Copies of this chain bind each other. A is one copy, B any other.
Amino acid sequence: MNREELKNLLESVKNNEINIDEALENLEDLPFKDLGFAMIDNHRELRVGYPEVIYCAGKTPEQIKEIVRFMLTKDNNILGTRATEEAYNAVKEICEEAEYNKLGRTITIKKKEQTLTDSYIAIICAGTSDLPVVEEAVETAKILGNRVERITDVGVAGIHRLFSKLDIIRGAKVIIVIAGMEGALASVVGGLVDKPVIAVPTSVGYGANFGGVSALLSMLNSCASGVSVVNIDNGFGAAYNASIINKL
């Protein structure tokens, strides 16, 4: 139900064209559906422009399946993040078209075809070990309808690799930089472009990396000004953010 339909319904109530009980029935699943253990936020697309996404960590495969089962009754594309293969198999039982990205740990179900954006999001990473976060970001950006350019393994230890890709990077409307260890790539890219840079620290590294803290602090303290940061390994959040910006 979109905003227009909702407005019509309310006016019908005001004008006594339908009674309260009828209106209630229409609005029953709105703005959320209580599944007992979860409240699906149907209102969400109306409010923030995107359907709800399932954060699968800490949920049982059975719970995830039930959430998907309800969502399938609506007309939206579906995205699950941090999903185990076990969770995917549970979903597959009720939805043949569900796809699983093993590296990125995402479940995606395309219920309607999207026109991709003209402008694109550049998703850059420093090393091969950052690829799981890259994959999560790419899957998220795509299901939200964005064109994506992916540039991998261009860390600052061999900075000429980055420079060789500068044209693609500068052509993007918004840039996601994914890096672990010292996360210097975000600052270097931030100093070379005039587009918003969303930095994703990754937990790649060891020792004084502290599970991604070194890259996180680097990015928060970036001397380049156009850089904002999301949580460690949060490829989803970066892509969600980038998608909002890309569609402005």
Contact = CB atoms under 8 A, between A and B. Distances in A.
A195 interface: yes
Given A41-B161, A49-B194, A231 B245 contact: no
Contact of A208 (B41, B59, B63, B232): B232
B192 A184 contact: no
Contacts of A229: 220, 228-230
Interface string A153-174: 1111111110010000000011
A158 to B, nearest CB: 4
Given A38-B128, A203-B207, A157 B223 contact: yes
A216 B201 CA distance: 15
Contacts of A219: 182
Interface in A206-230: 206-230
A187 B128 contact: no
A111 B50 CA distance: 42
Interface size band for A = 35 or more
Contacts of A84: none
Contacts of A238: 228
A197 to B, nearest CB: 8
A53 B49 CA distance: 35
A225 B211 CA distance: 20
A168 B193 CA distance: 27
B225 A217 contact: no
Interface string A98-142: 000000000000000000000000000011111100000000000
Contacts of A215: 221
A184 B225 contact: no
A182 B234 CA distance: 14
A92 interface: no
Contacts of A55: 127, 129
A51 to B, nearest CB: 11
Given A31-B160, A63-B128, A153 B57 contact: no
